[in-house]
Amino acid sequence: MKVLRQDYDYPIFLNADHTHSLASAENAARAGFDSIVFDRSELPFAQNISETKKAVEALKSINPLILVEGEIGEIGTGSEIHEEAPQGLTLTTTEEAKEFAAATGIDILAPAVGNTHGLSRSMIRGEAQKRLDIDRIAQIRKATGLFMTLHGASGTNDDDLSRAIRAGITEIHINTEVRLAWRRGLETAFAKERDQVVPYKLLPAAVDAMKQVVSARLSLFNRK
């Protein structure tokens, strides 16, 4: 990471996504990660608060500049293809967000505002999209003043993403879209060159497919 920063003179940061224990979060902090997602959202709210508060203290004592992210509400698991989109997930309330932010001392909040990890088959077919609760994002932002991450943003309506950024989202995760592009890039290369066995001639297709997704998303996210 340090070499990449030096060579490209570009702000690149390393984020430890979804650590589920203090031990793994501390390992990531010691390894030099710039930010850590400490995800104990499956616990009851009070326990999530006490564990996250402890993690913030422990991680900042390893690196005072590290950013710690906490998570409340349900956003499903797995950056992968799901048969069906999960239903009935509990969204984050403004009151919870305010209490959680004040009690834990986190730098970044990951709320549940209509986002879910992974993509469903109907989303891949282009028949469905995730829709976000923009008012909720704006209210949580106002109540906490924190940076906010939108996890599980793959397959979200473009206009919702632009509005979510204006409402206070500062970081967006689209891992499943990138993974899907990787797989399709490889499939296309294999189908096109059936007798090709040279890895470095086949594998760039996966990288090119991922680049296309990332650059399209970056241009949307940076649109004024």
Under the rule (CB under 5 A), what is the footprint of Zn ion?
Answer: 151
Residue of this chain nearest to Zn ion (CB atom): 151
How does DSSP assign 24-87, residue by residue? HHHHHHHTT-SEEEE--TTS-HHHHHHHHHHHHHHHHHH-TT-EEEEE-S---S-SSEESS---
Residue 67 CB, shortest distance to Zn ion, in Å, is 15
140 versus 189: smaller Cβ distance to Zn ion: 140
Distance separating alpha carbons of residues 179 and 185, to the nearest angstrom: 10
Comparing CB distances to Zn ion, the nearer of 39 and 133 is: 39
Closest separation in Å from C-beta 173 to Zn ion: 5
Nearer to Zn ion, 49 or 112 (CB): 112
Q: How far is the CB of 77 from Zn ion (least distance, A)?
A: 9
Reading the block at residue 115, the tokens are 């986002």
Side chain identity at residue 208, one-letter code: D
d(CA 18, CA 221) in angstroms, rounded, equals 23
The CB-of-78 to Zn ion minimum distance in angstroms stands at 10
Nearer to Zn ion, 150 or 165 (CB): 150
